[in-house]
Amino acid sequence: MRTYETTFIINPQTDDATIERHISDIADIITKNNGKIVHEDKMGTRRLAYPIQKLTQGYYASFIFEAPREVLPLLDRHYKLNEMYIRNLTVRFDGKLEEIIQQENPFVKPNANKFVSDKEALKAKTEVETKKEEKTSPPPENREEPVQETPVVEPLPEDNQEKAEKTKENVEEKGESQETPETNYDDEEDQL
């Protein structure tokens, strides 16, 4: 049994219940064929980088699962037969699960911690834990906003605001761990 990751985009122009049903359909196919779902991620509605079937937004969701390889053609068939899935991608999963789970939703907020080394991350983790509780509450609000006819421009300033707040907090509580990655990014842009 191998670990796979399947990501798909659902047409968002329906009610939430049908979206949920299409997500659980995929889960059913995996579990009914001796597969096991390791991690589920509903990333929510996001603007597509290019229009697909004249749609500009899509609902993203993904599963990381262990399953025998017979499941893959079944999944593929299901995707093909149902027009609600506008894109899908199933690949062998080669990352570490813990890394994925630690990462915040990349769609909601770009992860500034990417370039922090593991050791630093562990150090920061204990300090951040209190903050994480605060962090977990804001994302759902952000996810819903783009659905309500806020296409392109708005997410960015929000991120900046959040960042600004974040850095303020950082300066007070812990200067080093989160600021270093940001400077990394800046250096990089100068070089390029």
Which one, 68 or 110, has the nearer CB to other proteins?
110
Length of the chain: 192
Question: Which listed range, 16-24, 31-39, 111-119, 143-151, lies at the site for other proteins (CB under 8 A)?
Answer: 111-119
Distance of alpha carbon 148 from alpha carbon 97, whole angstroms: 33
Question: Which listed range, 14-22, 102-110, 123-131, 140-148, lies at the site for other proteins (CB under 8 A)?
Answer: 102-110
Which one, 17 or 119, has the nearer CB to other proteins?
119
Is residue 96 involved in binding other proteins (CB under 8 A)?
A: yes
CB of 1 closer than 8 Å to CB of 67: yes
Element spanning 157, H or E: helix 155-173
Is residue 107 involved in binding other proteins (CB under 8 A)?
A: yes
Distance of alpha carbon 4 from alpha carbon 151, whole angstroms: 32
Structure tokens at 76: 């593929």
Is residue 103 involved in binding other proteins (CB under 8 A)?
A: yes
CB of 26 closer than 8 Å to CB of 8: yes
Structure tokens at 103: 């990462």
Torsion angles phi and psi, residue 110, rounded to 5: -60, 135
Is residue 106 involved in binding other proteins (CB under 8 A)?
A: yes
Is residue 58 involved in binding other proteins (CB under 8 A)?
A: yes
Residues that bind other proteins (CB under 8 A): 7, 9, 43, 48-50, 52, 58, 60, 62, 87, 89, 91, 94-96, 99-100, 103, 106-107, 110-111, 114-118, 184-185, 188, 192
